[in-house]
């Protein structure tokens, strides 16, 4: 049996209408949306299925909405009997991975991402920030450019190491712009991202501190499958250490490149992206070495799940 990993997307994978066919097809998906609406007091189904996109994309709304869709997709898969060996998620998606590994309950998952979104939105209004994607340079060079502008990495830092040469920087707008200008001089492209805050930067320090209290109120259990974590790019199975990793996630880089390499090291050959879009699929294709045997499956529509059930 080939080793399998579940991959859960984060912010940036959303679209108006995501999950609608699942909501119409499965009663338990409707019940999940009802639960999420009761916990958050947000009209999740209305925003998710009809938008407008600006309201959907607002961090305070998007975090519980996207997580609800991710969990809905996982629940369908679980009820079809799939047992995966590993799970991981990109930033926000890591919370669905925690649920998928039975570390936290469904209610706690939705509560956490709702509070996470509120705190991140609050701090993004207090501390103006931005993010740019730097394309074409390896992580060591980007880190050097960041240190050239801010040796302490307090006002600008790396947010995501997505592929070998796709790196997102985050922080104060003027400092991010200066690093981007240096990157361009070194032959890279620098693309401003449509985000409302400097995620995974020290501008989120207060949010991370306040969110730690939310995490402390939640029971973390031993996982029933191994998770590769964003902060370390490695596997951790101790519940207390997992909680510690999640406390620093908001201000730490997402080591996605390292996470996928860890799954390759563990001989994972089947990667299942569960949730809206195909962002993670695109990243994986850029990370996996040539001649490595692998298969990527995207599950986010009723039709895709039916085809998956009918596979030989």
pTM of the model: 0.96
> Catalytic one among 13, 45, 91, 252?
91
pLDDT of residue 94: 98
Residues 238 and 103 in one domain: yes
Asked whether residue 197 is assigned to any structural domain, the reply reads no
Where does a domain end: 192, 215, 238? 192
What domain count does the chain have?
2
Asked whether residue 207 is assigned to any structural domain, the reply reads yes
pLDDT tens readout for residues 156-205 = 999 999 999 999 999 999 999 999 999 999 999 999 998 989 999 999 99
- Tell me the residue range of the domain where 48 lies: 3-125+202-309
pLDDT tens readout for residues 123-149 = 999 999 999 999 999 999 999 999 999
Where does a domain end: 192, 218, 242? 192
pLDDT tens readout for residues 1-53 = 799 999 999 999 999 999 999 999 999 999 999 999 999 999 999 999 999 99
> Catalytic one among 90, 132, 200, 257?
200
User: Among this protein's residues, is 200 annotated catalytic?
Assistant: yes
Where does a domain end: 170, 192, 214? 192
pLDDT tens readout for residues 111-126 = 999 999 999 999 999 9
**Residue 122 CB burial class (10 angstroms; 0-12, 13-18, ≥19):** middle
User: Among this protein's residues, is 91 annotated catalytic?
Assistant: yes
Asked whether residue 38 is assigned to any structural domain, the reply reads yes
Say whether pLDDT at 310 is over 90. Answer: no
């Amino acid at each position: 049996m080939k080793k399998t990993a579940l991959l859960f997307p984060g912010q940036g994978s959303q679209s108006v209408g995501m999950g609608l066919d699942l909501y119409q097809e499965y009663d338990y998906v409707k019940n999940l949306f009802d639960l999420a609406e009761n916990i958050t007091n947000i009209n999740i189904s209305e925003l998710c299925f009809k938008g407008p996109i600006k309201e959907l994309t607002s961090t305070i709304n998007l975090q519980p909405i996207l997580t609800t869709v991710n969990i809905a997709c996982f629940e369908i898969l679980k009820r079809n009997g799939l047992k995966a060996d590993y799970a991981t998620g990109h930033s926000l998606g890591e919370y669905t991975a925690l649920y998928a590994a039975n570390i936290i309950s469904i209610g706690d998952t939705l509560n956490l991402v709702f509070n996470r979104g509120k705190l991140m939105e609050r701090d993004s209004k207090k501390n103006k920030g931005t993010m740019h994607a730097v394309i074409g340079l390896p992580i060591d060079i980007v880190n050097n450019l960041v240190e050239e502008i801010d040796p302490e990495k307090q006002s600008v830092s790396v947010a995501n190491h997505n592929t070998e040469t796709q790196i997102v920087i985050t922080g104060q707008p003027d400092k991010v712009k200066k690093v981007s200008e240096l990157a361009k001089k070194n032959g890279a492209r620098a693309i401003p991202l449509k985000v409302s805050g400097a995620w995974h930067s020290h501008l989120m320090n207060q949010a991370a501190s306040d969110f730690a209290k939310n995490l402390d109120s939640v029971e973390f259990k031993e996982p029933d499958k191994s998770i590769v974590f964003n902060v370390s790019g490695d596997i951790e199975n101790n519940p207390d250490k997992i909680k510690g990793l999640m406390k620093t996630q908001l201000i730490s880089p997402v080591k996605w490149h390292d996470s996928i390499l860890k799954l390759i090291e563990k001989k994972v050959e089947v990667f299942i992206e569960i949730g809206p879009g195909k962002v993670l699929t695109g990243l994986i294709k850029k990370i996996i070495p040539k001649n490595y045997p692998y298969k990527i499956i995207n599950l986010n529509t009723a039709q895709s799940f039916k085809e998956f059930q009918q596979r030989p």
